[in-house]
Amino acid sequence: ARRAKAFGLQIHYHNRKPVSHVVADELEATYWESLDQMLARVDIVTVHAPANPASFHLLSARRLKLLQPHAIVINTARGSIIDEQALADLLADGKVAGAGLDVFEQEPRINPKLLKLPNAVLLPHMGSATVEARVDMGEKVIINIKTWMDGHRPPDRVLPQML
């Protein structure tokens, strides 16, 4: 939001609850209790949410149809949050102006329709490719290895049944 504001964009957001007044005032941010109402009025939608049952297809076909034809959708969060087929159809029909996607619903597979669209920018899940994120990832690995070497259960272990 700070970067968007630096480019002169107005900040509108939807969340389970509003951010603190300090943050909202700093960003001159407008909180929308209704996601539907917000989507119908904004020019750019960026998705920043975890993948969970409540966020699956949060941007459903119905909600994507609320967007204005000049709207742009950006998703660097999780692919399952957007109904990717509905988005591809709206992009192809010119009912949504563009999309920037760093994550995909069926990752690593990419919807073939998206691959053919000139108004879709597709990246190979590299939104986390910052120095800070990579350092955090490395530190997390070290903590897991040290924990295991000390005979304890690593905090971030992945079990085959979880895959």
Q: How far apart are CA 71 and CA 76, in angstroms?
A: 17
Contact call for residues 31 and 15 (beta carbons, < 8 A):
yes
Cα atoms in the Cβ-side hemisphere of radius 13 Å centred on 18: 15
Cα atoms in the Cβ-side hemisphere of radius 13 Å centred on 22: 0
Q: How far apart are CA 103 and CA 109, in angstroms?
A: 10
Kindly list the catalytic residues: 78, 107, 125
> Residue for token digits 């053919």?
116
